């Protein structure tokens, strides 16, 4: 990734915001003013709402940059210690806008894209082709050609069919395509089964385990197929084991499998690939009690493990790369909503009338967005933290559920949170740590328009992606 921008002064710790900051799961620029209003990087919640409306995704630019630097700094230091290098690619699927891609590039990260659309955003941002990777288990010819034309640094191939297709397309353009082969190591990790992508019974990658007839594994077969195509340059092996991983031992286990595969390929073909990508998946705090993964100890452990494995195998160390998405942008973002209706609902505990447990009251607090701007609670049962951010309240906290405005009872924004008992229509409410997979997975369900992405830095806010309008939706409808 030679074209990336080099930046001085990397630091390896995640930003905390220091004294006065609300702390995790909020971004480091979030603090409560003496009058009770919450501010982000010096801009009050009230001003943000007045200027940009609600709902709005609010991104703390300095926090994003600090997290990008922390990951890069921690991994560079740890891998330098063992005598090799590492490149950090920001996984754009978490949130990609032109400005966000620029921030990542300015902090010395490459950009990992998962479709032609994400590739186009990275290119529009001016990210050098050499610093871009293109993923996808079912890339179209158009996407592959766009990547080749942009001179992307790596196309991560995902099947035998695709290896032949990328080879043919490269031949048609008269170029050599730089590829990595995505393999599944059998190691899977992460907070939810749907986001664990290294199960053998899933669509991604090629397994290192031989099929029922024995013989060569699909992964080894694919690597050999790449070696056999002169239009393809085999850069390395790629493994992504899952997402929202809080136990880093999975990275070490996967690295061991990949390094063994690399040694096997070298033994069979004489080709020792130069790079191993360990994917993304670094977990973050969503709730005040959660412990985020700190990059420095993880990087140290992974580096030590790969050094030990390479020395056991007697193979020189490859260069490494990683692809964090959520860990860079997740905590940097919050969603600002306005409270509408508030309704106490009496809940009978499970077991109904026969249960000894007393019925209790849950306060349903409806906001002006919902599952269209954050599908994660409905899709994964994901938990979030929310606070009233426009004022201070000394009312006793009550058990609340924050819900959206969609026609669906599963339209839940925060399953369970304590909110001030006097929470009422007009209050501003913010949900923390929505920077990753919020806007990028947003929909227009019920013809709701997607909220803007607003960046805040040094006391100023600016729109990165404007709010969608109903006119935007109608413009697509051909009548
Ligand atoms: N690299 C590859 C090849 C990936 O497939 C992914 C995520 C990443 C990197 C970035 O992972 P991260 O560091 O952000 O965990 N929609 C789900 C997450 C799906 C992740 C898919 N792949 C969610 O909202 O939790």
Burial state string for 250-283 with b = 16 or more CB within 10 A and e = fewer than 16:
bbbbbbbbbbbbbbbbeeeeeeebebbbbbbbbb
What's the pLDDT at 201? 78
Residue 352 pLDDT exceeds 70: no
What's the pLDDT at 5? 41
Identify the active-site residue in 289, 357, 396, 407: 407
**CB 88 near ligand 1, within 6 Å:** no
- Of the pLDDT bands very low, low, confident and very high (cuts 50, 70, 90), residue 189 is confident
CA distances for 443 relative to 142, 162, 231, 294, 403, angstroms: 25, 30, 39, 32, 16
**DSSP character at residue 118:** H
Half-sphere exposure of residue 273: CA atoms within 13 angstroms, side-chain side? 28
CB contact at 8 A, 331 and 433: yes
**CB 61 near ligand 1, within 6 Å:** no
Residue 321 pLDDT exceeds 90: yes
What span, in angstroms and rounded, lies between the C-alpha atoms of 352 and 346?
A: 12
* 80-97 pLDDT, tens digit each: 999 999 999 999 999 999
Residue 9 pLDDT exceeds 60: no
| Mean pLDDT to the nearest integer, 235-259 | 94
CB contact at 8 A, 86 and 75: yes
Burial state string for 1-20 with b = 16 or more CB within 10 A and e = fewer than 16:
beebeebeebebebbebeee
Pocket mutation for ligand 1, best pick of 70, 236, 243, 384 (most atoms within 8 Å of C-beta): 243
Q: Which residue has the tokens 């003013």?
A: 33
What's the pLDDT at 33? 95
Specify the 3-state DSSP secondary structure of 334.
strand
Half-sphere exposure of residue 228: CA atoms within 13 angstroms, side-chain side? 10
Residue 22 pLDDT exceeds 90: yes
- Of the pLDDT bands very low, low, confident and very high (cuts 50, 70, 90), residue 373 is very high
* 400-440 pLDDT, tens digit each: 999 999 999 999 999 999 999 999 999 999 999 999 999 99
What's the pLDDT at 193? 32
Reading the block at residue 331, the tokens are 């905590």
| Range with lowest mean pLDDT among 61-65, 82-86, 355-359, 409-413 | 355-359
The separation between CA 101 and the C-alpha centre of its own chain, rounded to angstroms, equals: 13
| Mean pLDDT to the nearest integer, 142-167 | 98
Q: Which residue has the tokens 């740890």?
A: 78
What is the whole-number distance in angstroms between the Cα of residue 326 and the centre of ligand 1?
Answer: 7
CB contact at 8 A, 134 and 119: yes
Instruction: Report the topology of domain 30-60+331-476.
Output: Lyase, Ornithine Decarboxylase; Chain A, domain 1 (2.40.37)
**CB 91 near ligand 1, within 6 Å:** yes
What's the pLDDT at 188? 81
CB contact at 8 A, 64 and 51: no
| Mean pLDDT to the nearest integer, 142-164 | 98
What average pLDDT does the chain have? 94
Reading the block at residue 49, the tokens are 């709402």
What is the whole-number distance in angstroms between the Cα of residue 311 and the centre of ligand 1?
Answer: 31
Residue 222 pLDDT exceeds 50: yes
Task: Report whether 437 belongs to an annotated binding site.
Answer: yes
With a CB cutoff of 8 Å and minimum separation 6, the contacts of 214 are: none
| Mean pLDDT to the nearest integer, 176-180 | 98
Q: Containing H/E element for 79?
A: helix 61-81
What span, in angstroms and rounded, lies between the C-alpha atoms of 463 and 59?
A: 10
Task: Report whether 323 belongs to an annotated binding site.
Answer: yes
What's the pLDDT at 11? 72
Instruction: Report the topology of domain 61-329.
Output: TIM Barrel (3.20.20)
What span, in angstroms and rounded, lies between the C-alpha atoms of 203 and 408?
A: 30
Provide the residue count of the chain.
Answer: 479
| Mean pLDDT to the nearest integer, 338-354 | 85
User: Which amino acid residue places its CA nearest to atom 17 of ligand 1?
Assistant: 195
- Of the pLDDT bands very low, low, confident and very high (cuts 50, 70, 90), residue 351 is low
With a CB cutoff of 8 Å and minimum separation 6, the contacts of 84 are: 317, 318, 319, 320
pTM value?
0.95
Reading the block at residue 78, the tokens are 């740890």
Pocket mutation for ligand 1, best pick of 196, 281, 328, 380 (most atoms within 8 Å of C-beta): 281
Domain assignments of the chain as residue spans, ordered by start? 30-60+331-476, 61-329
Residue 473 pLDDT exceeds 50: yes
Q: Where are the beta strands (DSSP E) in 220-300?
A: 232-238, 242-243, 275-277
Task: Report whether 458 belongs to an annotated binding site.
Answer: no
Reading the block at residue 391, the tokens are 């004022």
| Mean pLDDT to the nearest integer, 444-456 | 98
- Of the pLDDT bands very low, low, confident and very high (cuts 50, 70, 90), residue 213 is confident
- Of the pLDDT bands very low, low, confident and very high (cuts 50, 70, 90), residue 191 is low
């Amino acid at each position: 990734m030679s074209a990336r921008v080099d930046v001085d002064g990397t630091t390896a710790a995640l930003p905390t915001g220091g004294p006065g900051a609300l702390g995790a799961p909020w971004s480091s620029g979030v603090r409560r003013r003496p009058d009770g209003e919450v501010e982000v990087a010096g801009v009050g919640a009230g001003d943000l709402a007045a200027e940009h409306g609600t709902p709005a995704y609010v991104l703390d630019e300095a926090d994003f940059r600090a997290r990008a630097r922390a990951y890069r700094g921690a991994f560079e230091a740890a891998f330098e210690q063992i005598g090799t290098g590492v490149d950090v690619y920001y996984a754009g699927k978490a949130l990609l806008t032109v400005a966000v891609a620029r921030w990542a590039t300015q902090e010395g990260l490459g950009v990992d894209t998962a479709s032609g659309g994400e590739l186009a955003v990275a290119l529009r941002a001016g990210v050098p082709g050499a610093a871009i990777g293109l993923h996808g288990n079912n890339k179209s010819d158009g996407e592959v050609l766009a990547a080749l034309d942009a001179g992307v640094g790596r196309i991560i191939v995902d099947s035998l069919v695709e290896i032949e297709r990328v080879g043919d397309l490269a031949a048609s353009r008269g170029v050599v395509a730089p590829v990595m082969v995505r393999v599944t190591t059998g190691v899977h990790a992460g907070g939810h089964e749907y986001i664990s992508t290294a199960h053998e019974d899933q669509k991604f990658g090629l397994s290192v385990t031989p099929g029922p007839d024995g013989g060569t594994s699909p992964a080894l077969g694919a690597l050999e197929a790449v070696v056999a195509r002169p239009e393809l340059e085999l850069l390395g092996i790629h493994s992504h084991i899952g997402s929202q991983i809080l136990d880093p031992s999975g990275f070490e286990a996967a690295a061991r499998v990949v390094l063994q595969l690399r040694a096997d390929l070298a033994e069979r073909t004489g080709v020792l690939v130069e790079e191993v990508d360990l994917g993304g998946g670094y977990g973050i705090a969503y709730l005040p009690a959660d412990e985020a993964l700190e990059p420095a100890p993880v990087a140290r452990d992974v580096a030590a493990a790969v050094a030990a494995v390479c020395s056991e195998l007697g193979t020189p160390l490859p260069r490494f790369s990683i692809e964090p998405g959520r860990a860079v942008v997740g905590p940097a973002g919050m969603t600002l909503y306005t409270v509408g209706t508030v309704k106490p609902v009496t809940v009978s505990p499970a077991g109904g009338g026969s249960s000894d447990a007393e019925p209790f009251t849950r306060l349903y607090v409806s906001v002006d967005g919902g599952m269209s701007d954050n599908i994660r609670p409905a899709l994964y049962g994901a938990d979030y933290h929310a606070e009233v951010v426009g004022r201070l309240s000394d009312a006793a906290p009550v058990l609340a559920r924050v819900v959206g405005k969609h026609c669906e009872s599963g339209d839940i924004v925060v399953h369970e949170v304590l909110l001030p008992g006097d929470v009422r229509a007009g209050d501003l409410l913010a949900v923390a740590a929505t920077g990753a997979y919020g806007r990028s997975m947003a929909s227009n369900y019920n013809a709701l328009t997607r909220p803007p992405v607003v960046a805040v830095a040094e006391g100023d806010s600016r729109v990165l992606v404007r709010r969608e309008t109903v006119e935007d939706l109608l413009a697509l409808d051909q009548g």
